[in-house]
A and B are shown apart, each in its own frame.
Chain A
């Protein structure tokens, strides 16, 4: 079972709102990822968690705040976003091993910032 689920599927928010994206994995992977994907572009890595600890932050602006409350859940808290932050936000999981490990993606949350 390689399933990763994400909620909500769609989200519309204003620039002053605070919202959260949720990701849940249903397998024994201990590495989790957040990616941002703009239309017709490849996914761009934002954060990596390994064993529930943040190991990579790809210089993401502070209006995005990740959280890993346990080994199955990953959240992305959003605050004071800009319209250019509108994108598909993807969660993925893998074995916590550098290199040679497949990342499995969830369906994504499509975010629109007005």
Chain B
């Protein structure tokens, strides 16, 4: 079962470094994946998505990698900036439903 904890996994990086945030999923039927960024006091903001027929997709300063063999998703942020500090959630869904299944989230802290 899910552990009950008050602390999110945290990644601390220095400004200008690259960040990698990882996410594991368990549903082999998942075929659409999204990364969201949630700043304090705000709703989740769409960053980038990827479909299961792809293994890599690039956006502006962000890259998402999908490894379906091991059910692993990662978000890479290049040249991380203080404004990137937030909680990052991966989410997945399948063709059978509307529901987005969210991962537990990772808190990214960018230090100057």
Interface residues of chain A, those whose CB is within 8 Å of chain B, are: 2, 4, 6, 31, 33, 40-43, 45, 48, 50, 55-56, 58, 90, 92, 94, 98-108, 110
Contact = CB atoms under 8 A, between A and B. Distances in A.
Interface of B: 5-8, 31-32, 34, 36, 41-46, 49, 51, 89, 93-100, 102-105
Nearest to B4: A41
Nearest to A33: B98
Given A98-B97, A99-B97, A105 B8 contact: no
Contacts of A92: 43
A40 B98 contact: no
Given A40-B7, A42-B104, A102 B49 contact: yes
Interface of B is mostly: loop
Contacts of B96: 98-99
Contact of A55 (B41, B51, B98): B98
A42 B100 CA distance: 11
B81 to A, nearest CB: 22
Given A40-B8, A42-B103, A98 B42 contact: no
B34 A102 contact: yes
Nearest to A96: B98
